[in-house]
Amino acid sequence: LVVMKQCLQQFPSSKTAALMICKLCIGPLENAKEAISFAQKLAEQHPGLAAGHLALGLAYARQARQHMTDSLRQEVLSKSVEALQEARRLDPYNPACSLYYALQLSCQRRIPDAVAVVSEILKKDPTYHQGLWLAILLETASKNYPEAMLLCQQALREYPDDLVFLRLKIEMEVTTAGIANALVTAKSLFLPENESSKEMEHAQSSLWLFLTKLFLQNGQFEDAVSCFKKVRDDLSADSLYYRGLLLAYESRLDAAKAVYMGALANNPNHVACLLALGDVHLKQENPTMAEQYISQANACDPSDHFVWQQLGSVLSLQGDHERAATCFVNALQLESLAPISPFTDIPLMM
């Protein structure tokens, strides 16, 4: 990044250097502020350059994934959609412009508009990985699981070992056929131990963690532990969260709390961890602390219907039925348009 900034200082009109800086800040560095600053200048200097508007739209999309109030997130999402719409107008044949435009429409819960854009993408290229991923999520958001499963099977024919589509298939089976049936599929997908890239290792670990949770939910503790032992990065916030789940399952609640707090030290906005801490405090008959952690989770992601549901439950336990009712209404409204996994799971890449 430092080298690219020096290049831009020497050649202020260099589109390549500016785009490389945006690419780094949007992707691996996750620095939305810098990405927006450089992308804005690029779009202003070269208003006819689709890549500049694409960079700006993705920079705002990165910012929208950070912790902020819901009203501010909606404002940032609108800026992202506007920039991506312009990128798409300037370069209608670039699938990335259309994909990310559809993705941000999805984040605004403009599901029919997003479906129309994704359908256009897949007509031109039925094998486009990110397009298939988003199409599946959109069908699940519409609760059209048979069509979503057909799309997933189509994707797996094209990408038979793709961990994204394998996980989506299992998640849909959990919803449509129950955990026990989904685990039959999961057991047939156990991953081979071989050399792989860091990106592949992360995807594998993510799937092992997901299977850990499924086995726990189905009461298969030993299988859950076996899956957890396959995880490569056991100090990440996600790994610590699942370690806490295993401890909580054994009723080692204080140990689970300590592990959850360690996870939050890595990522203070880890919604699942905050919810888990709320659950532990409920089991320890401390609803006031439970409400505090669940409220924090709600502030981190006010679009998560399950968080609203949990907040309503803890408020109801404390006799605050009016606020609880509001939470339950919010949960129902959000759940009606919620995909099987978050739209924000789709990575932002230039």
In order along its 350 residues, the chain shows pLDDT tens digits of 778 888 888 878 889 999 999 999 999 999 999 999 999 999 999 999 999 999 999 999 999 999 888 899 999 999 999 999 999 999 999 999 999 999 999 999 999 999 999 999 999 999 999 999 999 999 999 999 999 999 999 999 999 989 899 999 999 999 999 999 999 888 776 655 555 567 778 888 888 999 999 999 999 999 999 999 988 877 899 999 999 999 999 999 999 999 999 999 999 999 999 999 999 999 999 999 999 999 999 999 999 999 999 999 999 999 999 999 999 999 999 999 999 999 999 999 99
Model pLDDT, residue 14: 83
Model pLDDT, residue 190: 61
Are 201 and 232 within 8 A, CB to CB? yes
Distances (CA, A) of 334 to 146, 189, 229: 21, 32, 35
Distances (CA, A) of 43 to 48, 188, 200, 260: 8, 49, 34, 43
Q: Which residue has the tokens 């008959």?
A: 285
Quick one: which of 283, 285, 270 has its CA closest to 236?
A: 270
DSSP 66: S
| Residue 20 to residue 344: CA distance in whole angstroms | 23
Model pLDDT, residue 187: 77
* Residue 50: Cβ-neighbour burial (10 angstroms; 0-12, 13-18, 19+): buried
Model pLDDT, residue 194: 55
Model pLDDT, residue 193: 58
Model pLDDT, residue 10: 83
| Residue 313 to residue 326: CA distance in whole angstroms | 11
pTM for the model stands at 0.92
Distances (CA, A) of 276 to 192, 193, 259: 31, 31, 11
